[in-house]
């Protein structure tokens, strides 16, 4: 009897360059499955914006799987129970998935892999979401990197990432051999918010594999050659917009990496210069974030630099609420926070500005910011979110020094000189709020608070 493989889709919601799916399709019949078990990712279960995106993406994945000749089976967790039930229903011989690197998911997958193997199933996992896996990258001393530049150099010194695999032309569907539960509808998962606040998100994004490939095509056609300068201008369309697609695995980083290389004639990455190199380096930052999360899993909730645990964060619920709602009285900050609320996304330069404002002007803990971003970003990625907030707070790897405090006014003048971004998102009418802090005074208080950390190092 031909082998039957359960392919467990997670953050790899695509058919193209999907190693687990490709291996299963080459072997025999396939049972594609998605299992909704957010409690298994506690305390960082998917937030509201992520669930909205997932709802859309699952619909498009289901259609693509059906077009290829199979059906996407949707079940609720616990994941181990669901996989065991599916193995009985379809007389499966194999279970395959692409690896994830969040601490809770690693712990869960380790238990599941052993349990299914003990059941007599062949269990395999693949790399479908990174260029190079974190367990295979280390310093000459065999230690994890904590600074980006040497990490990036080490990646460039390696062979190019594996070429992306093709989309399977046909999936051989497996027939159920035992009567069991039917697939759930996507609507039954309850992913959409009770109040429809996602109106602008629907006009901004096209979740799914086709949407990801189209965004890549547009970016390569008009954006990558100017990315080095345009990426810092929130008033321009200068970024790729691929971050949520990469997070949900609707496109692989290998596909993006090699597509960028093709725009410069297939030049090896180590010899690429200018804007294409700057963009490849951003993919490197994504790799670095996952490298750090894998090797330092505690950083999701605690600073990598342990001495920052002494930092005297302020308890300021009023200031935090004003920041969350874009009512700080600083136009570039408020524009970013309102863009986030409306679209589930914020320009990266503005992310740095709003993060600096929260942790330094208001001295509110970076964890408060990380939690808010986690719930409101469609590209809420645990590795990137952790790295970004610890960078802003000065307590993580390759972090900005704490004394580097962004001035929101000068940042706006430099990167939004015509106030186009501010006018689009914040507005400057009569009801616009007064600044909730004096930046110069807030900067002095932040530097004074830093002395608590510095004193502990002596």
Which structural domains are found in the chain, ordered by start?
4-128 (3.40.50.620), 130-164+210-295 (1.25.40.80), 306-456 (1.10.579.10)
Return the pLDDT at 399.
66
**Collapsed DSSP state (helix, strand, coil) of residue 314:** coil
pLDDT of 182 strictly over 70: yes
Closest residue by Cα to residue 329 from 426, 444, 195, 199: 426
Neighbouring CB atoms inside 10 A of 27's CB total 17
**Collapsed DSSP state (helix, strand, coil) of residue 8:** strand
Asked which of 75-89, 149-163, 422-436 is least confident by mean pLDDT, the reply is: 422-436
Which pTM value belongs to this model?
A: 0.96
Structure tokens belonging to residue 52: 């909205």
State the Cα–Cα distance between residues 399 and 383, nearest whole angstrom.
Answer: 15
Per residue in 380-392, pLDDT tens?
999 999 999 999 9
State the Cα–Cα distance between residues 335 and 325, nearest whole angstrom.
Answer: 10
What percent of the chain has a predicted confidence (pLDDT) above 70?
98
Q: Return the active site residues.
A: 282, 285, 313, 348, 366, 389
Q: Give the pLDDT band (50/70/90) at residue 458.
A: low
Neighbouring CB atoms inside 10 A of 2's CB total 9
Return the pLDDT at 222.
86
Average pLDDT, integer, range 206-233? 95
Average pLDDT, integer, range 175-204? 86
pLDDT of 352 strictly over 70: yes
In this structure, are residues 155 and 268 in contact, taking their beta carbons and an 8 Å threshold?
Answer: no
Q: Give the pLDDT band (50/70/90) at residue 429.
A: confident
Per residue in 361-419, pLDDT tens?
999 999 999 999 999 999 999 999 999 999 999 999 876 666 789 999 999 999 999 99
Per residue in 84-129, pLDDT tens?
999 999 999 999 999 999 999 999 999 999 999 999 999 999 999 9
Average pLDDT, integer, range 200-225? 94
What percent of the chain has a predicted confidence (pLDDT) above 90?
90
Average pLDDT, integer, range 187-194? 92
Q: Give the pLDDT band (50/70/90) at residue 69.
A: very high
Average pLDDT, the chain: 95
State the Cα–Cα distance between residues 318 and 333, nearest whole angstrom.
Answer: 16
**Collapsed DSSP state (helix, strand, coil) of residue 356:** helix
State the residue for tokens 């994504």: 286
Structure tokens belonging to residue 136: 């295979």
Closest residue by Cα to residue 232 from 333, 350, 332: 350
Return the pLDDT at 364.
98
pLDDT of 185 strictly over 60: yes
**Collapsed DSSP state (helix, strand, coil) of residue 91:** coil
Average pLDDT, integer, range 39-67? 97
Average pLDDT, integer, range 183-204? 88
Closest residue by Cα to residue 360 from 401, 305, 397, 322: 401
For CA atoms 206, 209, 214, 217, give the dihedral sign: positive
Average pLDDT, integer, range 10-21? 98
Per residue in 274-297, pLDDT tens?
999 999 999 999 999 999 999 999
């Amino acid at each position: 009897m031909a082998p039957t493989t359960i392919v467990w889709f997670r953050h790899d919601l695509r058919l193209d360059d999907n190693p687990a799916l490709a291996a299963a399709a080459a072997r025999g019949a396939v049972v594609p499955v998605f299992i909704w078990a957010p409690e298994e990712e506690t305390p960082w279960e998917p937030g509201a914006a992520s669930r909205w995106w997932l709802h859309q993406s699952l619909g498009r994945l289901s259609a693509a799987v059906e077009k290829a000749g199979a059906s996407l089976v949707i079940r609720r967790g616990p994941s181990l129970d669901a996989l065991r039930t599916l193995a009985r229903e379809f007389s499966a011989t194999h279970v395959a998935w692409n690896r994830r690197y969040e601490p809770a998911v690693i712990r869960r997958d380790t238990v599941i892999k052993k349990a299914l193997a003990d059941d007599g199933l062949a269990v395999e996992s693949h790399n479908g979401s990174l260029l190079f896996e974190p367990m295979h990258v280390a310093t000459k001393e065999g230690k994890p990197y904590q600074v980006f530049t040497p990490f990036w150099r080490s990646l460039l010194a390696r062979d190019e990432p594996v070429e992306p695999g093709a989309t399977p032309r046909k999936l051989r569907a497996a027939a159920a051999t035992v009567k069991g539960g039917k697939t759930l509808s996507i609507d039954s998962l309850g992913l959409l918010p009770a109040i429809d606040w996602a109106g602008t998100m629907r006009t901004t994004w096209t979740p799914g594999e086709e949407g990801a490939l189209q965004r890549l095509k547009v970016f390569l056609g008009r954006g990558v050659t100017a990315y080095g300068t345009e990426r810092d201008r929130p008033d321009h369309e200068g970024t790729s917009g691929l971050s949520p697609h990469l997070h949900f695995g609707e496109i692989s980083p290998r596909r993006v990496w090699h597509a960028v290389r093709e725009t410069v004639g297939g030049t090896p990455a180590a010899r690429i210069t200018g804007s294409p190199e700057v963009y490849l380096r951003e993919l490197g930052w994504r790799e670095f974030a996952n490298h750090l999360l894998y090797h330092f899993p505690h950083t999701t909730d605690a600073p990598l630099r342990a001495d920052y645990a002494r930092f005297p964060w302020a308890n300021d619920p009023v200031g935090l609420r004003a920041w969350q709602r874009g009512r700080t009285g600083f136009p570039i900050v408020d524009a970013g926070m309102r863009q986030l609320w409306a679209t589930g996304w914020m320009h990266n330069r503005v992310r740095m500005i709003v993060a600096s404002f929260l942790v330094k002007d208001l001295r509110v803990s970076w964890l408060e910011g990380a939690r808010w971003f986690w719930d409101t970003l469609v590209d809420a990625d645990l590795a990137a979110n952790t790295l970004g907030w610890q960078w802003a707070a000065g307590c993580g790897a390759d972090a900005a020094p704490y004394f580097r405090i962004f001035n929101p006014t000068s940042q706006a003048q430099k990167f939004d000189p015509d106030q186009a971004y501010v006018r689009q998102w914040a507005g400057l009418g009569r009801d616009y709020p007064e600044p909730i802090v004096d930046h110069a005074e807030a900067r002095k208080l932040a530097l004074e608070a830093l002395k608590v950390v510095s004193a502990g190092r002596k």
